[in-house]
Amino acid sequence: QVQLEESGGGSVQAGGSLRLSCVGSGRTFGNYAMGWFRQAPGKEREFVASINSGGYAIYGDSVKGRGTISRDDPQDTVYLQMEALSPEDTAVYYCAASKFSWWSQNAYDYPFWGQGTRVTVSS
């Protein structure tokens, strides 16, 4: 059974940074793409970033240039580093594990999800 557990969320001032972590278990972590999504209050879930099994990444428009996704396969961990945070980044951030090795922006390509970690950015 694949399990994902996020950590690193919290409250931060606008302009600050955060690093979110996601530890996976239950399968060979490095063979699959991993993604981060977020959901703000009253909004739909939004793609943030994805990294494929080879370490190549893509980003959603809302975090492009401010976010960096990375992975440490021996540790079964994926990270999301975010800089220059604004109140618009306030959301619950979810880690997701893909059924493919290649990255995707489509949530339907990710059958496994963590419980989420909340990020609150105050102005």
Sequence-distant (6+) residues with CB within 8 A of 71 are 30, 34, 51, 55, 77, 78, 79
- Per DSSP, 63 falls in state T
Residue 46 pLDDT greater than 90, yes or no:
yes
The closest alpha carbon to 99, from 32, 13, 18, belongs to 32
Using pLDDT thresholds of 50, 70 and 90, give the confidence band for residue 28: confident
So what's the pLDDT on residue 1?
86
Residue 109 pLDDT greater than 90, yes or no:
yes
> What distance lies between CA 75 and its chain's CA centroid?
16
For the stretch 7-19, pLDDT in tens is 999 999 999 999 9
Does residue 47 contact residue 60 with C-beta atoms inside 8 Å?
A: yes
So what's the pLDDT on residue 119?
98
